[in-house]
Amino acid sequence: MKTPIIVTIILSGSLSLFAADKPLAPLPAGTKAVSIHAPFEADPNDCKQCHEKSDPKEPGKVKKAINALCVECHDDFQKVMKRKHVHGAAEDKCTNCHNPHNASQPKLLTQELVALCVSCHDDQKTQMTKMKVVHGALTTGKKCVGCHNPHASDVKPILIQLAGDLCISCHATDTITDAGGKPLTNFKKLLDANSEQHAPVATKDCSACHKAHASQNFRLLAKEYPPQFYSTYATNLYALCYECHDPKLAADPETTTLTQFRNGSKNLHYVHVNKSERGRTCRACHEVHAAKQAHIIRDGVPYGSAGWILKVNYTKTPTGGSCAKTCHGEQVYARGPATKVQGKPATEKPPAEKANAPKTN
Partner 1 sequence: MRPRLTTWIGVLALAAAAPWPVVQGFAFAQTGDVIADAEMPTLTGGTHHLFSNATANVFIFFRAGQEHSQATLREFAKLEKETRSNSVHWVAIFSDRCPTNDIAKDVAAAGITMPVLVDRGDALYGRLGVALCPVVGITDKDHKLLSYQPFTKVNYTDVVRARLRYALKEIDAAELERVLHPPAATTPSGDASAAHRRLKLAERLFQAKNYEKALENVKTSIEKDPTLAAAHVLLARVLFAQGKREEAKAALQRALELDPKDTQAADDLKALSAPQ
> Cα dihedral sign for 247, 249, 255, 257?
positive
Number of residues that bind partner 1 (CB under 8 A): 72
- Tell me the C-alpha distance between 100 and 332, whole Å: 71
Bridge partners (DSSP) listed for residue 231? 279
Q: Where are the beta strands (DSSP E) in 34-115?
A: 35-36, 85-86, 102-103
Question: Does position 260 bind partner 1 by CB under 8 A?
Answer: yes
Q: Per CB under 8 A, does 200 bind partner 1?
A: yes
Establish if 64 lies at the interface with partner 1 (CB under 8 A).
no
Binding mask of the shown chain, residues 135 to 154, with x at each position contacting partner 1 by CB under 8 A: --------------xxxxxx
The verdict on 184 binding partner 1 (CB under 8 A) reads no
The DSSP code sequence of 272-313 is HH--SSSEEPHHHHB-SSEESSGGGB-SEEEETTTTEEEE--
Partners of 198 in the beta sheet? none
Q: Minimal distance in Å, beta carbon 337 to partner 1?
A: 12
- Given the complex with partner 1, which of 309 and 346 has the nearer CB atom? 346
Report, in Å, the least distance between residue 294 CB and partner 1: 11
Segment near partner 1 (CB under 8 A), from 112-120, 130-138, 196-204, 299-307?
Answer: 196-204
- Give 161's Cβ-side CA count (13 Å radius): 12
Distance CA 297, CA 326 (A): 13
Binding partner 1 by CB under 8 A: which of 204, 275, 286, 316?
Answer: 204
Residue among 149 and 217 whose Cβ is closer to partner 1: 149
The pair phi, psi for residue 7, each rounded to 5°, is -65, -40
Residue 350 makes contact with partner 1 by CB under 8 A: yes
Distance CA 274, CA 297 (A): 19
Please give the residues from 33 up to 52 whose contact with partner 1 meets the rule CB under 8 A. 38-39, 42-43, 46, 48-49
Alpha helices (H) along 60-99: 66-73, 77-80, 88-92
Given 2, 125, 143, 245, the residue binding partner 1 (CB under 8 A): 245
Cα separation of 79 and 184, whole Å?
A: 37
Among 18, 67, 77, 172, binds partner 1 (CB under 8 A): 77
Among the listed ranges 95-103, 228-236, 320-328, 336-344, the one in contact with partner 1 (CB under 8 A) is: 336-344
CB nearer to partner 1: give 222 or 327: 222
In this structure, which amino acid lies at residue 285?
A: C
Q: Does 302 bind partner 1 (CB under 8 A)?
A: no
- DSSP E strands, the chain: 35-36, 85-86, 102-103, 133-134, 152-153, 196-197, 214-215, 230-231, 262-263, 266-267, 279-280, 290-291, 300-303, 308-311, 315-317, 320-323, 331-334
Is 119 a residue that touches partner 1 (CB under 8 A)?
A: no
- Interface with partner 1 by CB under 8 A: which range of 10-18, 108-116, 192-200, 307-315? 192-200
Q: Distance between CA atoms of 17 and 92, rounded to whole angstroms?
A: 10
Given a contact cutoff of 8 angstroms between Cβ atoms, the answer to whether 217 and 135 are in contact is: no
Q: Name which position in 58, 112, 178, 243 contacts partner 1 (CB under 8 A).
A: 243
CB 160 within 8 A of CB 89: no
User: Does 319 contact partner 1 by CB under 8 A?
Assistant: no
For position 197 contacting partner 1 by CB under 8 A, the verdict is yes
Does 266 participate in binding partner 1 (rule CB under 8 A)? no
Q: Does 340 bind partner 1 (CB under 8 A)?
A: yes
Cβ-proximal residues to 278 (8 Å cutoff; 6+ apart), any chain: 230
Smallest distance, partner 1 to C-beta of residue 18, A: 20
Residue 229 CA from chain centroid, whole number: 25
* Of the residues 11, 36, 144, 162, which one makes contact with partner 1 according to CB under 8 A: 162
Min dist. Cβ of residue 284 to partner 1 (A): 19
Nearer to partner 1, 177 or 265 (CB): 265
Q: Is 296 in the site for partner 1 (CB under 8 A)?
A: no
User: Per rule CB under 8 A, is residue 205 in the interface with partner 1?
Assistant: yes
